[in-house]
Amino acid sequence: MKRTGYSSDLTDQEWALLEPLLPGPRPTGRKRIHSQRVLVNAMLYVLQTGCAWRLLPVNFPSWGTVYAQYRKWRIRGVLKDVHDVLRERVRQAAGRDAQPTAGIIDSQSAKTTEAGGIRGFDGAKKVNGRKRHILVDTLGLILKVVVHPADLQDREGGKLVLNGLKKQYPTLEKVWADQGYTGGFLRWAKDSSDLLVEVVYPWWRQAKRYTPDLVENVDPRKTFHVLPRRWIVERTFAWLGKCRRLSKDYEALPESTETLVYLAMIRLMLRRLGRAPPETSASHTIVM
């Protein structure tokens, strides 16, 4: 059947940015039958449309071939490495340093399906499933994602995110969070991770201390307010929400969900970088 394009496919300019970052052909073994670009386009099709791997259109390679490549890259951490390289390039293109100095942390609960795997019940959101715990920089680009059962409180899940973070981001100094990270988490972050965690409170809570008359009629449950810094991580969740595969947690393994999150951000960053002339660097080529 003749190959037809989809809106999720990479453009020539985007592929020129991505191709040098993917593993090259092995010197021994069988030769490739399908190009990596076709396989990546198939993965992006699953991510954007939310279809099952077995329901890939027939003009893609067989679903087994596509999934085998995705699984291999997930186990080897290829997509995570590609994501990190592209994030540095996007930051530099925006006039920022490659390494961040501040971040914002938050979590999102998602329902799971009959696929199995670990899960839990989030009593606050009334969701039986998992939490996607992410840390983003001030541009909304993901620094780290950890998927865990939804019954794990934010202050405990946040420890999974911040643990060992200084080794990967030595310049990171400050993290903004919401009220779910109060208590012993703030002291733990300072003592264990050498990070200053600042809780951003709603404006009406701050104003009650100084001008209570202005906020006595404010009902926080019925009034929406954009909170400083915290809106950035909420926008990142909105970006991820455009991928139907992430509307629920369809994966049996939390690691697979984490990889899909990185893949979604790869797609977003390639679109941004694709607006400028492609820039390749042999030093960033991933060799497996």
Return the ∠ at Cα 42 (arms to 40 and 46), rounded to 5°: 115
DSSP three-state, residue 50: coil
**This model's pTM is above 0.95:** no
Q: Read off the pLDDT band of 5 (50, 70, 90).
A: confident
Identify the pLDDT of residue 116: 84
Q: Which of 104, 100, 107, 102 is nearest to 177 (CA)?
A: 104
pLDDT tens for each residue of 64-110: 999 999 999 999 999 999 999 999 999 999 999 999 999 999 999 99
Average pLDDT over residues 169-198: 92
Per the CB < 8 A criterion, the answer to whether 91 and 98 are in contact is yes
AA identity, residue 59 = N
pLDDT tens for each residue of 104-153: 999 999 999 888 889 999 988 899 999 999 999 999 999 999 999 999 99
User: Which two tokens mark 143?
Assistant: 């620094």
Residue 90 CA to residue 171 CA, distance in Å, equals 17
Q: What domains lie within the chain, and their CATH numbers? A: 12-24+31-275 (3.30.420.10)
